[in-house]
Structure 1
Amino acid sequence: MRLLKLLLKLTVVLGSLWMLYLMSHPKTDLDPTYSLRYSWLEYTDADGGPEKVCNCTAIMQGVREALKQAKLLTITKDFRKNVRIPDEHYINATRDCRKFKLTRKYLTFPLSQEEEDFPLAYSMVVHHKVQNFERLLRAIYAPQNIYCIHVDEQSQASVFSAISAITSCFPNVYMVSQRATGKAKKPPPFNLPILSGNAYIVVSRGYVRSVLEDNRILALMEWAKDTFSPDEFLWATIQRIPGVPGSTWPNRKHDMTDINAIARLVKWQWHEGSQGSLEAVYPECHGKHVRSICVYGAGDLQWLLEHHHLFANKFDTDTDPIALYCLEKYLRQKALAELQP
């Protein structure tokens, strides 16, 4: 009987040690039976800062009292000071990459076989505010994807060092080694007219094949390598090259309102209005405007979630960190919910 009790105790101890091992050593291969153990990836109140006192569920539903509490909180000096993370923090935190990825709860394995078989490539341009960059990277990160990061030439040294430290922790995240030169360019190849457009695009497989194989496009991309913000003209220019799948004539009659496109959701100041207004395309901004674009606040989240867009522009921890915090939790919970059997 005494031996049986000892064996039972040993079994309990070994079971506890095994659970601790699983929590500290995330499994990297796809295993359907492992989906129930993904709880360590969920964002909980313990992961947040001062924002965690807010009721994100109520904020997402547009409950007036919850939105009022969030608004009052974001305007207090102590709250804004405690939420802001200096660039130096990321330089120190990434000295131990494994710990950094674990504590920040990065996804270190594909969430499904479908996602693993369909990797994505991201291009990110960063000027400042490393905190915003790191949170965006965490939100869209998956190990099968590729991330290309361009840090502006005029960025502060601390920004460059912090982003370099973060990217060094991930084998599929790269920093552009050569940045915008400040020199005048020669005319583009093949006399292609340079057109500006959205940096957020959704294209067909044929378009992608043209980008990889069409000599005109390859020459254009080579020409654009050291230009300023090529993402704002490169895709729009390719879209107007005759013969490219999905191309159209360069005429404004072909343009669509961005509210119908799925790539990016943005509130332009001159299209906002009060509820019930026949002239308004969307409701008023609950954050603030920067260059006539709404930087979203917590009060915009309910409207955002009613739409089907892949990205929303813009968020900023300096404007409303609660909006970012609640959206992060929502997106992570939505992603993990798809893993349940």
Structure 2
Amino acid sequence: MNPAKLSVLFCAAVSAFVCLCIYLLSKAKKPVARGWSFDCARCGDYPDELCSALFDGKAVAAVLGAQCEQVHRERPGFGAGLPVNCSRLLADHSYITKPLSQEEADFPLAYILVVHKNLQTLEWLFRAIYMPQNVYCIHVDQKAPAGFRQAVEGLAACFDNVFLASRTESVVYGGFSRLQADLNCMQDLVLSSVPWKYALNLCGQDYPLKSNRELVQLLKQRWKDKNITPGILQPDHIKQRTTHVHREYISPAESYVVKTETRKAGGVPHGLKLYFGSAYYAVTREFVDFVLKDERAKDLLQWSRDTYSPDEHYWVTLNRISDAPGADPSAEWEGSVRSIKWLDQATVAHNGCKGVPGSMPAAGWKGNLRVVKWSDRKDHDGCHGHYSRNICIYGLGDLKWLSEKDGLFANKFELHSYPPTLECLEYRILNRMLSQNTIALQ
């Protein structure tokens, strides 16, 4: 081959290489979820094609996604036993450092996170809910490893509006300590200079299904200063939770609650009707003040110390208190505008006396705070990850189902088990947040 032909081939090869580099760089500039990456040679054009297909429920996406279920690499700059470089953390993990709209800036939220494990999953959740106008109290279980606590302390130190609870508990599943952990954070949050409007509690394995602005709009427009505490009058089959004395036991190996044969003495304080419902809530600042100061709330708290899972009756019982004549606490609230007006009219008369701020005496189960796939329920298409404590740890095959739900948050997730599940959810939420912002981003 003569030198002229060799020169032409060489130029062609160089041109092809340059074009390939330009193509790869253009792909890299696409919006992607923050901090993790897939092996794109195996998984296709992530996340545009893969995540979109998974949310659409396409069968080919499930096959493609299964090949990528464990393909990831850890994000830099955050982990147990590692010093936290705040500048690198905020930059590499793309934290939002300014409000995305004036509406959100004017309606700050307070978050309570009770955590004990899964550091990377926690940081993934925290990054999704973090906004600079909000305030965050993180309660770290006393039983958590020292390295976990130090890492969470390092994370909190990077933000002026994040702090660890000043008083902590050894939290036992189903025990009073779980309720007390929330109250510890509430006591700290009321001292915050942030003028937060609502308090929401989460665990470290939750993840939002709505953007911060969507959440703010829902609380402002639909709930209008009302507390969200889904629940009903206490069913007969769980009354033993509050008729018998329960004790917490903590050992190095495990922690648990034991039901004794001793019956609780005396009735529920102030003749309150006991309700049963979600341990998770979205409550107004005025309701938090009521919980911390009102004698009914204090007495119910004291009475609940030796009951089983008191956080499943405490919040909903207090939020069902009504001094209004004609209010029917056992009625189901359908969430219509007409019902909201009725409740407003009913509560106006007694709020000035001894009513509960933002109470919803007839709310029933209304208020879809958390989306959960329970193993014994038939209202879903099965778990595509695996079950833990009868709750689904979501896998890739659950993304379509999650995308169709109207809840505020979903539970449970494990980043180390199914990383692409959270990756796709973050990609979805991030795109929604950026499309809704009205303040120019840097």
Q: Is this a same-fold pair by TM over 0.5?
A: yes
The Cα RMSD (Å) is 3.8
Count the aligned residue pairs: 280
Q: Displacement, 1:191?
A: 8.4
Which residue is equivalent to 1:13?
Answer: none
Alignment match of 2:435 (pick from 329, 337, 341): 337
Query: 2:335 maps to which residue?
Result: none
Aligned partner of 1:49 among 21, 32, 37 = 37
The Cα of 1:309 is off from its aligned counterpart by 0.9
Counterpart pick for 1:321 among 408, 412, 419: 419
Measure, in 2, the Cα distance between the counterparts of 1:311 and 1:148.
18
Aligned equivalent of 2:139, options 146, 150, 163: 150
Is the contact made by 2:321 and 2:359 (CA closer than 8 Å) also made in structure 1? no
Q: Determine helix, strand or coil for the equivalent of 2:429.
A: helix
* Among 87, 92, 98, the residue aligned to 2:87: 98
- Quick check: 1:235 aligned with 2:305? no
Give the aligned partner of residue 246 of structure 1: 359
1:79-118 per-position Cα deviation (integer Å, ceiling 9, x unaligned): 3xx5467997365362x31221111111101110010000
Shift of 1:235: 1.8
Query: 3-state DSSP class of the match of 1:92?
Result: coil
Partner of 1:200: 280
Asked if 1:301 is matched to 2:399, the reply is yes
Contact 2:393/2:413 (8 A) holds in 1:
yes
Contact 1:288 1:319 in 2 (8 A): no
Q: Residues 204 and 156 from structure 1, CA distance in 2 versus in 1: closer, same or farther, beyond 3 angstroms?
A: closer
Contact 2:278 2:312 in 1 (8 A): yes
Alpha-carbon contact 1:297-1:323 (below 8 Å) kept = yes
- Structure 1 or 2, whichever has the larger Rg, is 2
CA contact (8 A) 1:204 1:246 kept: no
Distance 1:339 1:292, change over 3 A: same
Question: Within the alignment, does 1:70 sit opposite 2:65 as a pair?
Answer: yes
- Pairwise CA distance, 1:49: 2.5
Q: State how far apart, in whole Å, the 1-side matches of 2:393 and 2:170 are.
A: 30
d(CA) in 2 for partners of 1:86 and 1:190?
54
Task: State the TM-score, normalized to the length of structure 1.
Answer: 0.69
For residues 211 and 45 of structure 1, what CA distance do their matches in structure 2 show? 39
Q: Closer, same or farther in 2 for the Cα pair 1:282/1:142, shift >3 Å?
A: same
**Cα 1:222/1:43, change in 2 over 3 Å:** farther
CA distance in 2, matches of 1:283, 1:125: 29
1:1-341 to 2 correspondences below 5 Å = 43-44=31-32, 47-50=35-38, 53=43, 54=46, 55-74=50-69, 79=71, 83=73, 89=79, 92=82, 94=84, 96-180=85-169, 197-203=277-283, 207=287, 210-211=290-291, 214-217=294-297, 232=312, 234-242=314-322, 243-244=355-356, 245-248=358-361, 255-256=364-365, 261-272=367-378, 281-339=379-437
Instruction: Find the residue that maps to 1:57 and give its secondary structure.
Output: helix
Amino acid in the other structure paired with 1:134? E
- Secondary structure of residue in 2 paired with 1:307: coil
Name the CA distance, whole Å, in 2 between partners of 1:202 and 1:51: 39
Q: Name the SS for the 1:164 alignment partner.
A: helix
Contact 2:369 2:409 in 1 (8 A): yes
User: Does the aligned pair in 2 maintain the 1:285–1:300 contact within 8 Å?
Assistant: yes
Task: Give 2:55's aligned amino acid.
Answer: M
Cα offsets for 1:25-44 (capped at 9, x unmatched):
xxxxxxxxxxxxxxxx9852
Q: Distance in 2 between matches of 1:86 and 1:229?
A: 38
Alignment-mate amino acid for residue 58 of structure 1: A
| 116 and 72 in structure 1: CA distance in 2 versus 1, 3 angstrom threshold | same
Work out the CA distance in 2 between the residues paired with 1:111 and 1:168: 23
Contact 2:35/2:75 (8 A) holds in 1: no
Provide the TM-score with structure 2 as the length reference: 0.54
Q: Secondary structure at the match of 1:136?
A: helix
**Identity over the aligned pairs, expressed in percent?**
36
- Please list every run of 5 or more consecutive structure 2 residues that lacks an aligned counterpart in the other structure: 1-28, 172-176, 178-246, 249-264, 323-354
Counterpart of 2:117, as a letter, is H
The alpha-carbon distance between structure 1 residues 216 and 157, as it changes in their structure 2 partners (threshold 3 A), is same
